[in-house]
Each structure stands twice: as structure tokens, then as C-alpha cells.
């Protein structure tokens, strides 16, 4: 299978290459694509060097699938060109997520919606992916009415520049700033730009994408997203109100058996999910499960996942795997 990775030199693109290799995706030919300034550079895949090519050269090479992680404007411009050439695009940017004509896919939840005609498939936002993977089995059983989520998000979600800023601040070095404020020893309650309603774009992504992925417009979601000086993954405090009551032991059993979920919940041993434990893993880790004693039918939980893997690159590769296994590529 011929595979193009668009944005192959970036944080997520590099992770996509790593995950294609780890999961042994049947790549017969790799076509790395990046911005004009990176053309001709070499990326390594399975110990072999591949030269970065231009968008047009990648289209001309006619890959079966193109994994995009090159930003929204690039995707808006180029994904339709790839699709026009019969290439299936799995896009990691926010460009197509809320487009009514495009599917927004988390394989554990709604891959069954995909058909051969879906030539541009959207990969959801990292913080949304990990939340819905944990919520979906509970929604099926108890019917979610409302979700209140606060996130604690890794600097890797911003990119290399943010990682460099954090490391520079740790060393006391002055350098380029990804954020307006210092991130080390700090928490910044803004991810992406502010919208007219006072929420950030990241917060509204979680609201809108959750409904679309879970195919239920009645789920009410409110979100506060915060950037913290962490590297391993995103953490989320999630308060879920159901229409039906639940049994805590049954909730834990549902999560223990849910695809892509690992239950880490033993307070007697101080065991709960942490970003450093989720780092470089593909699972969504769930713990601190307890009843909200302030109102009925409501649960508190803590959800952690590696945002570059399940939150981005792994989810995209899993979509490609599903398409390949079902003969949709």
C-alpha cells in the first residue's frame, strides 16, 4: 500500500511514521510530504531514508492513503486535490471536523460509518478523542445528558516551539516563545483563540465534536481547557450526568472491557492515571471514578492519554487500518 504522510517533519507527522512502523501497517511505498523549505530533506522509516517531496509530486505518485498533519489552511487547500485524484485523506487538522459532508472518526466508536466514498476523513481533536473513548461505553448503558470537562493539556499539543519554550525556561535560557506567558511553573487557561461567547476554540471543539462522534446532539457539554507544563499527555477531569442511575462496580467493569481503555483505579494503593505513565502508549487511561455526591446519576472520572498518539497519530493510523481491513481503500 502506497502511503503519503503530509507534514512528515512535524511532531505529529514524525509520530505517524513511528506508529505506522510499530503497528506494521502494510506500507509498500512511503511518500513523505512537507513544506517547500523541507523538500529534499530525508526522513527515516524502518531504517531507510526517504526524500521529502512536494504536494503535487505526492499526488502524482498516486498513494492509496494520505495522512495529513500540516495545519488547517494546508488541508483546506490540498486535501480536496488529493481526494480529486482518488486518494483517501485522513486529516488531523480542524479543517474538516465540523463539515457536515465529512465523517469525524474515532475507530472504537463510529468507524462503521465509513464507506468507499469517504475521501476526506477527519481525525478529531486530541482532548475530544480520549474523552469520548472513555464515555462511549457509559453512554450506551446509562445515556449521558451532560458533561463538564476541565483539561490539563501537555505542551506537545502546541508543537516543537512550545516544548522548546518549556525546556528553555527550565534551564533559565531566553528563547522563542510559543505562548504569551511563561509555561514552566504556570498554568495557562487558554488553548487556541477566544471566540465571541468567551470560550476558546479548543473548548468549543470538545463541545461540538463530542456530539458528532457519539452521534447524539442531545449531549450537553461544557469545557475549560488549560495548558500545563507537562510532556507525556493530556489529563481531563470529567463530570458526567446520566439519565439513568448506575452502579460503580458496573461502571468500572464497563470501562475495564471497553476497547482502547485501561482502568487504573485503586485509591488504596494511590493508583490513578498520570501523563508520565500514558507517555508513548496508545490507550486511554481512566481512574478516580466516584459518584458525584452533590446530585443524582452523576459520576466523576479522570482521563489521561498521550495526545500525540491516541490523540492524533495513532487514531489516524487506526482509521487507515480499518479502511484497509474492510477493503475501503
The closest of 178, 191, 132 to 311, measured between CA atoms, is 132
Give the integer Cα–Cα distance in Å for 264 and 252: 10
Give the integer Cα–Cα distance in Å for 115 and 308: 26
Give the integer Cα–Cα distance in Å for 16 and 7: 10
Active-site annotation holds for 234: yes
Active-site annotation holds for 191: no
Please state the three-class secondary structure of 36-48 as a single string: HHHCCCEEEECCE
Pair 5, 14: CB distance under 8 Å? no
Catalytic residue among 3, 87, 90, 126: 126
Catalytic residue among 102, 234, 279, 310: 234
**Helix, strand or coil, per DSSP, at residue 68:** strand
Give the phi and the psi of residue 188 in degrees, each rounded to 5.
-110, 110
Pair 31, 63: CB distance under 8 Å? yes
Which residues make Cβ contacts (< 8 Å) with residue 221, sequence separation at least 6?
146, 147, 149, 206, 207, 210, 211
Instruction: Show which residues are catalytic.
Output: 126, 234
Amino acid at each position: 500500500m502506497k502511503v503519503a504522510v503530509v507534514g512528515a517533519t512535524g511532531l505529529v507527522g514524525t509520530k505517524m511514521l513511528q506508529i505506522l512502523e510499530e503497528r506494521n501497517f502494510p506500507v509498500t511505498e512511503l511518500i513523505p510530504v512537507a513544506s517547500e523549505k523541507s523538500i529534499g530533506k530525508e526522513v527515516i522509516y524502518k531504517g531507510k531514508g526517504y526524500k521529502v517531496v512536494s504536494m503535487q509530486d505526492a499526488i502524482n505518485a498516486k498513494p492509496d492513503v494520505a495522512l495529513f498533519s500540516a495545519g488547517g489552511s494546508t488541508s483546506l487547500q490540498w486535501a480536496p486535490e488529493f481526494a480529486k485524484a482518488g486518494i483517501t485523506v485522513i486529516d488531523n487538522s480542524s479543517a474538516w471536523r465540523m463539515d457536515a459532508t465529512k465523517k469525524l472518526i474515532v475507530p472504537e466508536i463510529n468507524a462503521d460509518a465509513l464507506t468507499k466514498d469517504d475521501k476526506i476523513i477527519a481525525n478529531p481533536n486530541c482532548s475530544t478523542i480520549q474523552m469520548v473513548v472513555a464515555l462511549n461505553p457509559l453512554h450506551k448503558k446509562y445515556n449521558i445528558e451532560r458533561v463538564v470537562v476541565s483539561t490539563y493539556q501537555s505542551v506537545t499539543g502546541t508543537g516543537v516551539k512550545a516544548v522548546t519554550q518549556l525546556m528553555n525556561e527550565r534551564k533559565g535560557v531566553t528563547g522563542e516563545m510559543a505562548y504569551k506567558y511563561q509555561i514552566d511553573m504556570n498554568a495557562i487557561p487558554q488553548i487556541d483563540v477566544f471566540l465571541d461567547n468567551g470560550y476558546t476554540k479548543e473548548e468549543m471543539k470538545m463541545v461540538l465534536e463530542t456530539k458528532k462522534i457519539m452521534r447524539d446532539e442531545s449531549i450537553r457539554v461544557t469545557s475549560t481547557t488549560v495548558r500545563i507544563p507537562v510532556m507525556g499527555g493530556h489529563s481531563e477531569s470529567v463530570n458526567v450526568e446520566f439519565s439513568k442511575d448506575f452502579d460503580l462496580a458496573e461502571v468500572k467493569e464497563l470501562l475495564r472491557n471497553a476497547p482502547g481503555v485501561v482502568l487504573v483505579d485503586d485509591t488504596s494503593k494511590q493508583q490513578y492515571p498520570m501523563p508520565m505513565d500514558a507517555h508513548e502508549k496508545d490507550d486511554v487511561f481512566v481512574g478516580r471514578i466516584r459518584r458525584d455526591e452533590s446530585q443524582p446519576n452523576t459520576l466523576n472520572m479522570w482521563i489521561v492519554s498521550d495526545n500525540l498518539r491516541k490523540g492524533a497519530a495513532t487514531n489516524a493510523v487506526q482509521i487507515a487500518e480499518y479502511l484497509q481491513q474492510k477493503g475501503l481503500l
